Structure 1
Amino acid sequence: MEVKREFIGSGCNRIVNNVSWGPSGLVSFGAQNAVAIFCPQRAQILTTLPGHKAIVNCTQWLPTCKYAFRAQQQDKHYLLSGSADGVIMVWALNIKEEKFSHEMQVLATHKKGVTCLTGFMVSQSVAMFASTSSDGVVHVWELVFPSSNDGKCRISCLESLHVGSKPMVALSLARLPGDAGHLVLATGGLDHKVHLYCGDSTGKFFHACELKGHTDWIRSLDFSLPICVDNGEKRLFLVSSSQDKSIRIWKMSLHVSTDNSDVSYMKEDILASYIEGPVLRAGSSSYQVSLESLLVGHEDWVYSVEWQPPPHSLDDEYQQPMSILSASMDKTMMIWRPERTTGIWVNMVTVGELSHTALGFYGGHWAPDGKSILAHGYGGSFHLWRNTGVDYENWQPQKVPCGHFASVSDIAWSKSGEYLLSVSHDQTSRIFAPWKNEACPEDETSWHEIARPQVHGHDINCVTVIYGSGNHRFVSGADEKVARVFEAPSSFLKTLKHAVVQKLGYSEDIQEDVLILGANMSALGLSQKPIYVHAEAATRPDDNALDSMETIPDAVPTVLTQPPVEEQLAWHTLWPESHKLYGHGNELFSVCCDHAGKLVASSCKAQSTSVAEIWLWQVGSWKAVGCLQCHSLTVTQLEFSRDDSFLLGCLKEIRQFSLFSILKSGDEVSYQLIAKHEAHKRIIWACSWNPFAHQFATGSRDKTVKLWTVEGTSTIKQLATLPTFKDSITALSWAGLDRSLNTGILAVGMDSGLVELWRLSGGIANEGFDAVIAVKFDPLLCHVSTVNRLAWRNHDDSDESRSLELASCGADHCVRVFKVPY
């Protein structure tokens, strides 16, 4: 079996300095403990790189986007990543093969988390970079790349700068103009000052001067490339941004000294010192540092500033564009340029202003060609704009990858497999679907987030799709005592027609004349009220009303003909909530629906018998028709057998599972406890039924998977135990292949994030099972943290492709879909 990755959905860690746009056109970002790579042209996450044991705080490409004009002939680009445990890793990208490899791990010289990385290529084979941490130390490194494919990178720490009790959170490293041997390192942090250090290729840096002016934390620094002025002199510019909402541009020009004596770092005349600034000494050269401009326009902290990269060139000639991109917590990005006539820096372009759909930007980045800009926000989302104008600038939003920015707790396929529904501790539920580009039929189908049906005020723990006849519905359970039922509005039903290739869900029982167009969010974010098709415009609030948390603007649900961007997803694709299910005494933990679409079972977190019941709800009337009591601790997972005659529950208590028989007669439901069996040595996290028989699998923290059968109506017999795994079992899903031979594939997910597929055969007449390992997923395909759930896409027997699709979700914020041939 050669398993192929079909889709990865993930949000960005909500950390400043987390994103880097490389000269290859690929964007790197931290997704929990992984480094994720996405392609802006395809709006798809290509891969995730495992290795870090803690949250990834920052990434940095070498060469940087600023030197993209020199990176065209390189076969490999390199990527640095730093994590919250002080570890720095080096990755290599083979440009031709588009493959990543792990080059090396830098020893954890930082005692605390790495917060910023900066660097540049000294030559084709040597780079210098600096790293800073909340431990108050800035390290300067030399990285030598291998001359052959079989060689190893070599790294050495050239200098360690101790900056005191107020750590630095922003860095920028550059070569001084006019003096090839000397470098300048700018640091900024909690003391409101920009510190400049001078050094050479040997790495001996000394504190040269400090730049005062900001009145709050320095959040970002970026050196320009040397800029040539009319007299041939080259100047270097440094831009800094701060939590004081301002941006400052500092100019460094060659200083002519009257003698060879040491230059005073600060003039005696205070006024002259303020205007001219300090003098920076590097070897035999001196540089006058002065404030070029003060940019004021943002209304909140400015987290990021970045110079526009030079355009591509066939030779080493370049021209640094006088253009700066800034990103702020005021939900906007701005492009600043000097006016042609006066030379005064002004705001030329503003994008963003996303109202309630974003809570500010943590960073903004230029594309290598300077024609696109990318922001990442507080909600873990990306926002991309591209200049589509010819004679004038016209920045338009573009598609980007979407995903959760916290642990993804549960997933469920729709009735016919058109889309995948996921819920997360980021308090949202999301729908991912393959979208075929009808304008370009030859293009491959790509997956996108097409709706965000629930945006909640609590972490969502579980979800199930309602099967059977009727429109699309689901039930979700969160960190509250209420399960909530959602029904698809007409805007989603019509969008789904445009989106999916596989339109199996559009059978005769789908009602397309739904009167509810969409849903609006309540002020507290707990309920979602319906928007009716013929609602009067007079009911809408005044658009000119003050924007506050109390006056939330109405959603405008529309039928989507293209994959939506973040601004549409966050506000205009909600589903209305139709019912609330009351009864549980604690936070909801597990929920499932039978295959006929008649019953929903739910459980909650429990530490006593009084709240550890399994509740049964009748679909449609949503009445409680059963309360199954036989437990004293949390039921971790529930699943109905394929013929809906049994309900299986995994228990925390004394490593047991419980089995109930379910009998439906009209609206009446009767149930009986068949067995309560101690199956494992530790807690049972997962279970899954064989689609072809009354057989099931259980997986436990004791690293074992066991196969069981129900004999008659009341006897449980163990059929097999799979060989002990390397880690705790946290997810199982059983797919059937051949009913006559009772063969299938059991997907096993582990606490380490790894996934294995086992081919099962036999078990006929309750005899022993044959279990053979079919494939162990490549770690590059897998999650980097706990696999929370696995789910096979509903398989059509008439499908001749002989492949299955497996979905998974995990604590690493990722939703993944794999194509599995059989």
Structure 2
Amino acid sequence: MSSDGVEVETVFIGAGCNRIVNNVSWGACDLVSFGAQNAVAIFSPKTAQILTTLPGHKAVVNCTQWLPSSKDAFKVQHLEQHFLLSGDTDGVIILWEFSLKDRKWKHVLQVPQLHKKGVTCITAIVVSHNVALFASTSSDGTVNIWEMIFPSTIGGDCKLSCLQALSVGTKPMVALSLAELPGSSGHIVLAMGGLDSKVHLYCGERIGKFVHACELKGHTDWIRSLDFSLPIWTNGEKNSLFLVSSSQDRSIRIWKITLNVSSADPKVPCRKEHIGLTSYIEGPLLVAGSSSYQISLESLLIGHEDWVYSVEWQPPSCAAAGENDCYQPLSILSASMDKTMMVWQPERTTGIWVNVVTVGELSHCALGFYGGHWSPSGDSILAHGYGGSFHLWKNIGSDYDNWQPQKVPSGHYAAVSDISWARSGEYILSVSHDQTARIFAPWRNEVGLGDRFYWHEIARPQVHGHDINCIAIIQGKGNHRFVSGADEKVARVFEAPLSFLKTLNHATLEISSFPEDLQGDIQILGANMSALGLSQKPIYVHAANKVSDRNSNDALDTLETIPDAVPVVLTEPPIEEQLAWHTLWPESHKLYGHGNELYSLCCDHQGKLVASSCKAQSAMVAEIWLWQVGSWKAVGRLQSHSLTVTQIEFCWDDSLLLAVSRDRQFSVFSIKRTGADEVSYHLVARQEAHKRIIWTCSWNPFGYEFATGSRDKTVKIWAVVENGSSVKQLMALPQFNSSVTALSWVGRNRSMNHGFLAVGMESGLIELWSLFGRTDGESTALPKFNASLAVRFNPFMCHVSTVQCLAWRNSEESGDGGSLQLGSCGADNCVRVFDIKVD
């Protein structure tokens, strides 16, 4: 997106998946959709990158469904557009259009006639080259069935009509599947299952008129997933269909629906003469128009040790474009809360269904899978887990199955509260209410990707027992260190271990940035989690070799014994299990002093002082503490505010400290070093600056001007004048449409005092303002500022909830040309990095 010579490109999006069943869908276009808080995120399994997030939902996205699905792809191979349905916890369903040609997205429409409560499942089926049906179910006890007619021309409109609304009573349905019944009846069957532990079958036509046909009993707990196969060929005819169901009773059942041969001819018996095993397990008859179908239990699959959240038939493989050439393998993928996915197939000789592949995370971090999905080609399987994470395996064997884990995108699964760039900008560090700190970096060492660098999560330095609210990377020389503050009264200091430094070398290919003597000095290889998950203990280089000698019986996952981490130097982007366990940083100090939960942190530019604040409702608790880096002594307690200090920042030469607060005031303190361990400080100015809470502030990197942003939807520019003894307002930007929650100022040209101010809002939108400062020649004169809107980011690039923090990548002052990088994080669980090119 460009405006006035400023171009914005999204370089990276990191986000975790909502921890909800039915949230993920892998479409025929080979893209995966999932809900990330209120956004619908789209990722490409080929590059392991999130391509975009779709804004539109006002509530958490519960479920997504591609049209055509990979099962129906062979019916509509001419389609220029693919469609995506997404449903949220408010009952809203949105239809999106994806153009295969230009890879662009479009918000088509919001489906009318809302569900009154959250949508829990959407299923769809393509019934002809231009018509599809989809059904949605909700916890309001209704199932709605819709007809969708694809546009006949590119750019044309979809036609949508509601065929029927079914009421299913007080026990809602949570799983749906649609299929065309075999034979020439033209009837559609809808399977639904839910809280009453039965599978209900409804029969209808393409125009609706669905009626309850029968119910299948057998499961003893909630039905969680249903999936119809394509019609099965037997004796040259498509006369049967399989339905697979899974349940919280840990079992999977396969039901066979077979077309009864007409019994009008007396020579043709209605039932087989011989008594086989199937005659004892025949279920009800399903009547659709003039045809009837016999249902029988084909198989009961038992192997999972916990709730089975999803089952899915392997998509068909098509030899040619004709429907007759399409063959669907008899192969089922199941995913369970027991942390495994299984592939089930019938044995060739006996026909008995057996488990042929089991994959899963064996670490104690995964905590189970919410769903599993086949790739359209059937050679990869994807799970999404409790930690918001994806897990992908690909079958790379030619003569035999060989399933290997693959790279996937990753990110936080709760609001991201703060971000900070590394000193030299090699990576961005984020912290979140999902109780983790994560490091994202461009991995320059990837093979076969040309000139493009893809970003990946390369470490998870802190995994904590509290929501983490703020972060500060220690500036200055020496090892990589950061301070984090969480929903506890203690700030914690972490230091990079040797394994991380070597991994970063591989990622950035900048060997020179980490001198050998630094790596020689560091005796800590990694870190282990303590039993209660609150501290991270160092693993020393000389002790790392002893880990493998321990008795293997010690690996029981109890409070007393947690498996040892094995810090490794990563030579390619890590997968979830490595991140969650083997990339921790050791904690070196705890900073005690605050009376409440930590809220804001910052470090000065020399790396000598850290300032911190906590949540407060009185002047005593609202103190800002200053900590000496290294000795970690408290060297100052600055008092000025009566409520929470929301952000603190040092000016470019560290002589002034700016603080803004919920009490609508800002304070500027003068900071001076009087000795090795001593700091003197005094209050220069305190002023009520806005009509509502001040959320954010940022200094001009070239001077003593700063910006403040508030809930009153305004941004004001101020200057410290009269030799640093008072503060005057220079200007206010035009009022914004939403509360201003994040600001970050970057310098472009020192001689002209020119820079950009990034403004993030509660709506999730981001704007870039160009600021020019002019002085009249006298040092005491009030600088004059001109402001103009440089670019308003496309909403498809922005966050869909509050922007929590904006941060420019640390880079040396560049001329008027070149590009800048801006990092952002938001309440929509996303971390984003933008490239901003300026002509």
Q: Same fold (TM over 0.5)?
A: yes
Cα distance change of structure 1 residues 473 and 279 upon mapping to structure 2, 3 Å threshold: same
Matches within 5 A, 1:201-600: 201-230=206-235, 232-256=237-261, 258=263, 275-315=281-321, 316=323, 317-437=325-445, 439-440=447-448, 442-500=450-508, 505-506=513-514, 510-535=518-543, 541-545=550-554, 547-550=556-559, 551-600=561-610
CA contact (8 A) 2:438 2:460 kept: yes
Cα distance change of structure 1 residues 768 and 485 upon mapping to structure 2, 3 Å threshold: same
CA contact (8 A) 2:446 2:572 kept: no
Query: Which letter does structure 2 place at the counterpart of 1:309?
Result: P
Cα distance change of structure 1 residues 529 and 71 upon mapping to structure 2, 3 Å threshold: farther
**Match of residue 658 from structure 1:** 667
CA contact (8 A) 1:68 1:312 kept: no
Whether 2:767 is the aligned partner of 1:756: answer yes
Instruction: Tell me the alpha carbon deviations over residues 523-567 of structure 1, each in whole angstroms, 9 at most, x when there is no partner.
Output: 211100000111065566532336323221000111111000111
Instruction: Tell me the alpha carbon deviations over residues 753-805 of structure 1, each in whole angstroms, 9 at most, x when there is no partner.
Output: 00000000024353220000000000000000000000000122368970000
Residue 205 of structure 2: which of 179, 200, 206 is its match?
A: 200
Instruction: Tell me the alpha carbon deviations over residues 604-635 of structure 1, each in whole angstroms, 9 at most, x when there is no partner.
Output: 00111221110000000001001111222100
Instruction: Tell me the alpha carbon deviations over residues 245-269 of structure 1, each in whole angstroms, 9 at most, x when there is no partner.
Output: 0000000001235469xxx9xxxx9
Whether 2:687 is the aligned partner of 1:645: answer no
SS in 1 for 2:751: coil
Query: Which letter does structure 2 place at the counterpart of 1:13?
Result: N
Give the unaligned 5+ runs of structure 2.
Answer: 1-5, 776-780
Instruction: Tell me the alpha carbon deviations over residues 265-305 of structure 1, each in whole angstroms, 9 at most, x when there is no partner.
Output: xxxx9x99861100000011000000000000000000000
After TM superposition, the score normalised by the length of structure 1 is 0.97
Instruction: Tell me the alpha carbon deviations over residues 380-439 of structure 1, each in whole angstroms, 9 at most, x when there is no partner.
Output: 000000001011000000000010000000000000000000000000000000011354
Cα distance change of structure 1 residues 549 and 100 upon mapping to structure 2, 3 Å threshold: farther
- In 2, Cα distance between equivalents of 1:364 and 1:536: 36
CA contact (8 A) 2:231 2:238 kept: no
Query: Which letter does structure 2 place at the counterpart of 1:795?
Result: S
**Match of residue 811 from structure 1:** 827
Deviation of the 1:122 alpha carbon:
1.6
Cα distance change of structure 1 residues 413 and 536 upon mapping to structure 2, 3 Å threshold: closer
Instruction: Tell me the alpha carbon deviations over residues 733-769 of structure 1, each in whole angstroms, 9 at most, x when there is no partner.
Output: 0000000110000000000000000000024353220
- In 2, Cα distance between equivalents of 1:112 and 1:43: 34
SS in 1 for 2:595: coil
- In 2, Cα distance between equivalents of 1:72 and 1:258: 39
SS in 2 for 1:357: coil
Residue 606 of structure 1: which of 607, 611, 616 is its match?
A: 616
Matches within 5 A, 1:124-143: 124-143=129-148
Give the unaligned 5+ runs of structure 1.
Answer: none
Cα distance change of structure 1 residues 504 and 644 upon mapping to structure 2, 3 Å threshold: farther
Cα distance change of structure 1 residues 538 and 488 upon mapping to structure 2, 3 Å threshold: closer
Residue 677 of structure 1: which of 687, 691, 698 is its match?
A: 687
CA contact (8 A) 1:110 1:135 kept: yes
- In 1, Cα distance between equivalents of 2:279 and 2:129: 40
SS in 2 for 1:277: strand
- In 1, Cα distance between equivalents of 2:278 and 2:299: 17
- In 2, Cα distance between equivalents of 1:177 and 1:81: 29
- In 1, Cα distance between equivalents of 2:62 and 2:317: 29
CA contact (8 A) 2:436 2:460 kept: yes
Query: Which letter does structure 1 place at the counterpart of 2:384?
Result: H
**Match of residue 3 from structure 2:** none
Residue 795 of structure 2: which of 757, 762, 779 is its match?
A: 779
**Match of residue 55 from structure 1:** 60
CA contact (8 A) 1:746 1:760 kept: yes
**Match of residue 778 from structure 2:** none
- In 1, Cα distance between equivalents of 2:117 and 2:41: 22
- In 2, Cα distance between equivalents of 1:583 and 1:180: 76
CA contact (8 A) 2:14 2:832 kept: yes
CA RMSD in angstroms, aligned pairs only: 1.9
Deviation of the 1:357 alpha carbon:
2.4
Cα distance change of structure 1 residues 517 and 165 upon mapping to structure 2, 3 Å threshold: same
Query: Which letter does structure 1 place at the counterpart of 2:761?
Result: M
Query: Which letter does structure 1 place at the counterpart of 2:252?
Result: I
- In 1, Cα distance between equivalents of 2:336 and 2:698: 47
Deviation of the 1:233 alpha carbon:
4.5
SS in 2 for 1:571: helix
Deviation of the 1:108 alpha carbon:
4.5
Deviation of the 1:29 alpha carbon:
0.3
Query: Which letter does structure 1 place at the counterpart of 2:286?
Result: L
- In 2, Cα distance between equivalents of 1:779 and 1:239: 40
**Match of residue 739 from structure 1:** 750
Deviation of the 1:313 alpha carbon:
3.2
Residue 728 of structure 1: which of 729, 739, 756 is its match?
A: 739
SS in 2 for 1:104: strand
Deviation of the 1:502 alpha carbon:
5.8
Whether 2:49 is the aligned partner of 1:44: answer yes
- In 2, Cα distance between equivalents of 1:425 and 1:476: 12
CA contact (8 A) 2:501 2:514 kept: no
Instruction: Tell me the alpha carbon deviations over residues 507-530 of structure 1, each in whole angstroms, 9 at most, x when there is no partner.
Output: 688444411000001121110000
- In 2, Cα distance between equivalents of 1:544 and 1:443: 48
**Match of residue 106 from structure 2:** 101
Cα distance change of structure 1 residues 508 and 498 upon mapping to structure 2, 3 Å threshold: closer
What is the number of residues matched between the two proteins?
Answer: 814
- In 2, Cα distance between equivalents of 1:108 and 1:501: 55
Residue identity over aligned pairs, in percent, reads: 70
CA contact (8 A) 2:75 2:126 kept: no
After TM superposition, the score normalised by the length of structure 2 is 0.95
CA contact (8 A) 1:418 1:502 kept: no
Query: Which letter does structure 2 place at the counterpart of 1:661?
Result: S
SS in 2 for 1:727: coil
Deviation of the 1:235 alpha carbon:
1.1
Cα distance change of structure 1 residues 421 and 706 upon mapping to structure 2, 3 Å threshold: same
Instruction: Tell me the alpha carbon deviations over residues 41-63 of structure 1, each in whole angstroms, 9 at most, x when there is no partner.
Output: 00000000000110000000011
SS in 2 for 1:534: helix
SS in 1 for 2:758: strand
Query: Which letter does structure 1 place at the counterpart of 2:834?
Result: F
SS in 2 for 1:610: coil
Instruction: Tell me the alpha carbon deviations over residues 412-468 of structure 1, each in whole angstroms, 9 at most, x when there is no partner.
Output: 000000000000000000000001135447241000000000000000000000000
Residue 630 of structure 2: which of 620, 641, 646 is its match?
A: 620
Instruction: Tell me the alpha carbon deviations over residues 651-682 of structure 1, each in whole angstroms, 9 at most, x when there is no partner.
Output: 111x1001111001332111111111111111
Residue 688 of structure 1: which of 669, 694, 698 is its match?
A: 698
